[in-house]
């Protein structure tokens, strides 16, 4: 079977399906089945079409096709690397920062990224937040007037139907102190056919500012269909911002990272966060050092439009929260009140007077 003979246009959700599609070698079957027994597998047709099966280093395949290296967990890797559980007062809610909270509506995704920081928690068969659990989560949000922003995540909330989205939107609209709603999703990129005009309208919540954080990691992910989906969301009035992860073998070079950020901006998506990879189990092959990441991000400044500059973010392990770890361009002399030195985009130092 070739890549263009996928039955029914269904996602590839098993090692056998990946092998049949030419995305994994038959001799890898046993090792990859051990990986799939622990971590969910799904590659949508939209992503399959982008993969070059003749390229062993294909950056799209690297993100979604399992690898035997995932069986190795390093001592520093932890099941809940950003500490969701420590800040979950009720099921489905993570309240880490005073003015915002996560609402995790589902635990499933259209694709499963091999570097996912919630890989121990997401997958097919995971319970959706419904009934009494959803009531309790919304009651918590309503009972905490300091919560100004709600971030809908999971899993991927865009796998829900427009009807379910409208139900949640209606209930959030009734909570007066929530002013901003942010949806986090991969769907416009990995399953763009789901983003219809009706779906985009369902995401709007009366009286609230609506943001959609779109996750993409490589410029090739911006297919014609993905670009159309992003346009549908933008035309419906949603403000689009980006989320990316800095990944070795995917985007950890100046040319690719620059093209990725430009692709976002060209599609009305403001670059927002570029995440340093989290310490999730079995993900060491994606991580680079913070120093390497800082050097890459530094290379963007002055060479790309200010619109194309993301904030390089580290999520401190254990739940202490996100901090910016971008490079600095200003260094001060040791003496108090002394002049500083400012580094320009060519690496040259310029004196800057005190005060």
| Residue finishing a domain among 42, 71, 100 | 71
Quick one: 92 and 142 in the same domain? Answer: yes
pLDDT-derived band at 343 (thresholds 50, 70, 90) equals confident
Cβ-count burial 135-164 (b if 16+ within 10 Å, e if not): eebbebbbebeebebbbbbbbbbbbbebeb
Tell me: do 129 and 99 sit in the same domain. yes
Neighbours of 198 (CB within 10 A): 11
Residue 167 falls within a domain, yes or no? yes
Question: Is there a single domain that holds both residue 215 and residue 337?
Answer: no
pLDDT of residue 39: 96
Q: Does 128 share its domain with 186?
A: yes
Region 86-112: what's the mean pLDDT?
96
Mean pLDDT of the chain: 94
From residue 271, alpha-carbon distances to 97, 151, 212, 305 in Å are 22, 17, 12, 11
Task: Evaluate the CA torsion angle 312, 288, 100, 229 in order and state its sign.
Answer: positive
**CA–CA gap between residue 58 and residue 55 (Å, rounded):** 5
In this structure, is residue 80 part of a structural domain? Answer: no
Domain that holds residue 18: 7-71
Rounded CA-CA distance 38/119 in Å is: 9
Residues 148 and 223 in one domain: yes
**Full-model pTM:** 0.94
Same domain assignment for residues 59 and 92: no
Residue 1 lies in a domain: no
More confident: 354 or 184: 184
What pLDDT, on a 0 to 100 scale, did the predictor assign at position 126?
66
Question: Does any domain span residue 163?
Answer: yes
How far is residue 145's CA from residue 309's CA, in Å, rounded to a whole number?
33
* Whether residues 61 and 91 fall in one domain: no
The answer to which of 67-76, 113-122, 298-307, 325-334 has the lowest mean pLDDT is: 325-334
End-to-end Cα separation, the chain, in angstroms: 69
Radius of gyration, CA atoms only, the chain: 21
- Name the domain count of the chain: 3
In a domain? residue 223: yes
Cite the active site residues.
Answer: 96-97, 100, 109, 113, 116, 118, 278, 315, 322
Examine the fold and report which residue of 37, 71, 105 is the final residue of a domain before the chain moves on. 71
Same structural domain, 268 and 124: yes
As a whole-number percent, the residues of the chain with pLDDT over 70 amount to 95
In tens, the pLDDT along 246-280 reads 999 999 999 999 999 999 999 999 999 999 999 99
Across 167-188, average pLDDT: 98
In a domain, 77, yes or no: no
| Integer Cα distance of 303 and 253 in angstroms | 14
Question: Three-state secondary structure along 88-101?
Answer: CCCCCEEEEECCEE
One domain for residues 63 and 103: no
| Exposure letters 44-62 (e unless 16+ CB within 10 A, then b) | bbbbbebbeeeeeebbbbb
Same domain membership, residue 59 and residue 175: no
Tell whether the model's pLDDT for residue 225 goes beyond 60. yes
- Give a yes or no: residue 309 inside a domain: yes
For residue 155, report the phi and psi dihedrals to the nearest 5 degrees.
45, -170
How confident is the model over 1-50, as pLDDT tens digits? Answer: 233 344 458 999 999 999 999 999 999 999 999 999 999 999 999 999 99
Asked if residue 58 and residue 107 are part of one domain, the reply reads no
What is the model's pLDDT at position 78? 94
pLDDT band at 335 (very low <50, low <70, confident <90, very high): low
Look at 333 and 309; give whichever has higher pLDDT.
309
Q: Give 242's Cβ-side CA count (13 Å radius).
A: 33
The verdict on residue 2 lying in a domain is no
For residues 66, 255, 293, 32, the Cα torsion angle rounded to the nearest 10 degrees is 10
The mean pLDDT of 179-197, rounded to a whole number, is 98
Same domain assignment for residues 164 and 134: yes
């Amino acid at each position: 079977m070739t890549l263009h003979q996928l039955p029914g246009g269904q996602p590839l959700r098993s090692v056998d399906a990946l092998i049949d599609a030419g995305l994994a070698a038959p001799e890898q079957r046993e090792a990859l089945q051990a990986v799939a027994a622990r971590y969910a597998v799904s590659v949508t047709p939209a992503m399959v079409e982008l993969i070059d099966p003749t390229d062993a280093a294909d950056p799209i395949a690297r993100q979604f096709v399992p690898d035997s290296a995932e069986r190795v967990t390093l001592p520093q890797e932890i099941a809940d690397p950003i500490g969701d559980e420590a800040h979950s007062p009720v099921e489905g809610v993570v309240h880490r920062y005073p003015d915002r909270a996560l609402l995790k509506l589902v635990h499933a995704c259209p694709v499963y990224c091999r570097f996912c920081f919630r890989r121990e928690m997401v997958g097919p068969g995971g319970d959706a937040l419904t009934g009494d659990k959803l009531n309790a989560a919304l009651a918590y949000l309503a009972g905490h007037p300091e919560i100004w922003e709600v971030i809908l995540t999971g899993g991927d909330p865009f796998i829900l139907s427009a009807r379910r989205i409208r139900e949640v939107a209606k209930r959030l609209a009734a909570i007066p102190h929530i002013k901003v709603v942010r949806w986090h999703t991969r769907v416009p990129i990995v399953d763009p056919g789901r983003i219809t005009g009706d779906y985009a309208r369902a995401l709007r919540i009366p009286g609230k500012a609506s943001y959609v954080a779109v996750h993409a990691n490589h410029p090739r992910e911006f297919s014609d269909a993905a670009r159309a989906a992003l346009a549908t969301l933008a035309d419906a009035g949603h403000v689009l911002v980006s989320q990316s992860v800095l990944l070795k073998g995917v985007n950890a070079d100046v040319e690719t990272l620059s093209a990725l950020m430009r692709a976002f901006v060209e599609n009305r998506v403001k670059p927002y966060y570029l995440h340093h990879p989290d310490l999730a189990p079995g993900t060491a092959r994606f991580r680079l050092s913070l120093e390497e990441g800082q050097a890459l991000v530094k290379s963007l400044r002055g060479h790309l439009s200010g619109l194309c500059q993301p904030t390089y973010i580290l999520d401190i392990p254990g739940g202490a929260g996100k901090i910016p770890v971008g490079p600095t361009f200003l260094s001060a002399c040791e003496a108090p009140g002394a002049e500083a030195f400012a580094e320009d985009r060519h690496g040259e130092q310029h004196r800057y007077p005190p005060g």
